Structure formats: C-alpha cells, structure tokens
Chain A
Amino acid sequence: MHISEGILSAPVLAGGGLLTAVGTALGLRRLTPERLPRVAVMGAAFFVASLVHVPIGPSSAHLILNGLCGLILGWSAFPALLVSLFLQALLFGFGGLTTLGVNTFDMAAPAVACAWLFGKACNNPARPRLVFAAGAAAGALAVALGCLATATALFLSGREFIPAIIALAAAHIPIMIAEGLITGWAAWFLAKIKPELLR
C-alpha cells in the first residue's frame, strides 16, 4: 500500500503532506509523556511487522496492521505511523520521502476512523467474541479504506492510473481478509491479557 516515489502529481503530494501535518499535530497534542511508550512501541511494532511475510493464497504479503494501530493509539496513530513509514522508506525503500505525507495519511486516517468506529466494542474484555468481531472488522476496514485513499491519490494524479488502481485493489482483497482475521485474534488476545492496551 506504499505509493512509490515519482508517480503522484505535485498537488496530490502537497495535499497529502498537509493532511498528515494536521493529523500529526493533533496526534502529538495527545501524546503525553505517559503515553509515549505505548505510541513508540506501536510504531516499532508496525515497523517490525512489515518484515513479516504472511502467506495469502499462493503468494505472500507483509502485514499492514493499521487497524490494530488505530485501536491501540487513536489519533496518535498519525505520529507513530509517520515515524515508522519514514524509517521504512529510509531503510528498505518502501514508499519514499516525497510520498511520506500521502502514505502516512492513507494508513493513519483509516486507523483513526476504525478507532472511532470499533474502539468501544474492543474495550469489552468480558465479551471476547465481540472483541474478535470488532477487531476483525477494524483490521479489514482499515486496509479497505487505506486502499481507497491510495486509489484516490492515484486517481487525482491522472485518469491513466485507473487500471493500476484496479490491479492494486484486487490484490488487496485477500490481504484485507488475512489482516482482518489476524487483527481480530490479536485484539482477542489483548482483551484477554492486557485489556488496558485497547482503551
């Protein structure tokens, strides 16, 4: 889901940068010193998880985890993902420097949306099945929304990207399912063992 360097048009890059700057400012305002370990750990985990390849059908993909990130961090997903994506661009060549704003927005905005939609349901340690369902929905929806945002950025950069968008969306359908299940079980695990992380 990382958009590479060199593809998007200048206004789209600038717009993405601006939206991410606003999101990050909001996230930083909520980033009190007590919450720092949680946010940094999620950022680090998000980074490490991108090194894990999960088999999906005959192929494999690396985890995205923006849904889980949103459930645990809320608005702080913006700064956490910004740092993490910056490091991924720098060290592995995923995404890029000029696309950092767009890519962060594409992953963090769905994370925040999922936190808003499913956060309450996940904060329910007594009902693990509900937590699993909400977690799974958040995991899958975050990928879907991220894909939609990515598609929008490409579409705004040129109509000629439509076939590429379709290919990208198709590739993300199985990822959505796998992410959903994995996020669901991770949320179920957290609800059982450390529910305060989902608060």
Chain B
Amino acid sequence: MSNVLFELRRIDFAYDDTRPVLRGLDFTLRRGERVALTGPNGCGKSTLLHIMTGLLKPSSGTLVAFGRTRREEKDFHEVRRRTGLLFQDVDDQLFCPTVIEDVAFGPLNLGLDRHAAVRRARAVLGTLGLDDFEDRITFRLSEGEKRLVALAGVLAMEPEVILLDEPMAGLDETAARRVEEIILTLPQTLVIIAHDTDFLARLTRRTLRLHAGRLREAPPDPFPSHASPADAPGGVQSIRTSQERSKPCTKP
C-alpha cells in the first residue's frame, strides 16, 4: 500500500466567485508525516482542511485520499472515518450537553453500540487526564478544557490522520502547554495549523506556507533547536510572534 495518504492537485476554491481562496493548490501528505501549515489570517488554511475532509467541495482539481479519488459526498464518508478534524472554533464542535456524550458521539457514528462507545470515550478521556470530566456540562468548560474535550472527541474515532486547526489559539500559557504536550505525543500523521514557530520547530521539520492560494515549502529552520518530535517539551517559554498574525493577507 502506498504511503501517500492525501494527494491534492490543482485545487481551486472560492466562497464567492469574485474572490478565489485557493488557486491551483498542490499538496501531498505521506503516512507518518507531521506537517505545519502557516500563513496569514484569512488565507484559506481552514478552508484547505475542510476541503480535505469533503466538508467543502473544490470547484476544480483532484483529491486523492487513501488511494482513491474522492469527488462526491459519499466518497468522503470513509475519508472522514479515517481523518479527524479539530475545528478552529471549539464551540462549533461541542454540541452535546455532557462531555461523555460528546466524546462518544463519533464512535456512535462509526457504528459502535452505546456501551462500547461510552467505554471508548472513557478510555480516551483517561489518557488525556480528563477522567473526572465525564458529567461536566460542555458549554460551561473553560476554553482550554473545551479544546481538550474536542480533541478527545476526535481521538475517540481512532483516526489515522489528524488535522488540527490552530489548536492552541486563544488559550492561556498553561492550557496551551498542556495541549502542546498532548499533540507532541500523538502517533498519527498530523497536519497542524499554527503560528507559534517554537512549537512547530519542536513538532515538525516540514513547514508549508499558504500564500496567494498556493502552498510553498518554507525553508527549513537553520538552527533546529529541538529537532526530534520525540523530544519532550522542555519548559521553553514559547514566544508567540504576533507579527505573523497581523500581517495582512495579500489578495490577488
């Protein structure tokens, strides 16, 4: 079996025809890779992840996922089972009253019975250190807790690929560190949208930059201070570059 999981070729996408978001985008994702996706706000990073899982359909281009060309809604059912997506806005993702129900929602959709789904949800909550969260009300969790519960909901589906859309945005230092530690231990193939270059350097060597509707390989960091993803995150204070965020998106 080929180790290419996703292969996107010449993808065009626009929410409205006058303003294209993606223009002739190419992207290849191989098994075991951890890819960082960067680029100024509004450049279409989230859009790309939604296209990969078929939540948005490109106007042209081809998308091959797990060895098959995916075009219609029904082609994507399998893709979504095997690909977890953590949404940028957690509030979009959590909709059940209690944590346990929300985490069990995915497994139920995979066809597990309630008993098995709840068992699996409990196990995932356990590995994330959220054992006593089961009956908490999702709506009233803190931002950091919400993010962890949403991540648990994704992990409970046991995906092969995980797409993380700004998993640390909007979290305070402690919460961000906790999410970061968890992400560093994930064994899956990852695509992660993030702005924190220190964290990305620890996580991955491949960084792609989305610019003017296309992806470009960003030059590798000349001084990889934390080269291996297996490195434990050692108390490095991450300095968030606000520069990257505020840079305006150059629109064609």
**Is A in direct contact with B (CB under 8 Å) within the complex?**
yes
Q: How far is the CA of A140 from the CA of B77 in the complex (A)?
A: 33
Interface string of A176-199 (1 = CB under 8 A from B): 000000000000110011000000
Q: How far is the CA of A125 from the CA of B11 in the complex (A)?
A: 50
Inter-chain contact total with CB atoms closer than 8 Å: 9
Q: How far is the CA of A189 from the CA of B137 in the complex (A)?
A: 10
Residue of B97, B98, B137, B140 contacting most chain A CB atoms (<10 Å): B97
Q: How big is chain B's contact interface, by range?
A: under 10
Q: Which residues of A contact B137 (CB under 8 A)?
A: 192-193
Give B152 Cβ to nearest chain A Cβ, in Å. 19
Give A92 Cβ to nearest chain B Cβ, in Å. 22
* Smallest Cβ-Cβ distance to B139: which chain A residue: A193
* Smallest Cβ-Cβ distance to B140: which chain A residue: A193
Q: How far is the CA of A188 from the CA of B101 in the complex (A)?
A: 14
Give B99 Cβ to nearest chain A Cβ, in Å. 12
Q: Which residues of B contact A189 (CB under 8 A)?
A: 97
Q: How far is the CA of A178 from the CA of B8 in the complex (A)?
A: 41
Q: Which residues of A contact B140 (CB under 8 A)?
A: 193
Q: Which residues of B contact A192 (CB under 8 A)?
A: 97-98, 137
Give A20 Cβ to nearest chain B Cβ, in Å. 34
Q: Which residues of A contact B97 (CB under 8 A)?
A: 188-189, 192-193
Interface string of A129-146 (1 = CB under 8 A from B): 000000000000000000
Q: How far is the CA of A4 from the CA of B113 in the complex (A)?
A: 43
Q: How far is the CA of A17 from the CA of B139 in the complex (A)?
A: 42
List A148-190 residues whose CB lies under 8 Å from chain B.
188-189
List B91-123 residues whose CB lies under 8 Å from chain A.
97-98
Q: How far is the CA of A189 from the CA of B97 in the complex (A)?
A: 6
Q: Which residues of B contact A193 (CB under 8 A)?
A: 97, 137, 139-140
Q: Which residues of B contact A188 (CB under 8 A)?
A: 97
Give B216 Cβ to nearest chain A Cβ, in Å. 40
Can you spell out 6 A-B residue pairs with CB atoms less than 8 angstroms apart? A188-B97, A189-B97, A192-B97, A192-B98, A192-B137, A193-B97
Which residues of B line the A interface, CB within 8 A? 97-98, 137, 139-140
Closest 4 CB pairs of A and B: A192-B97, A193-B139, A189-B97, A193-B97
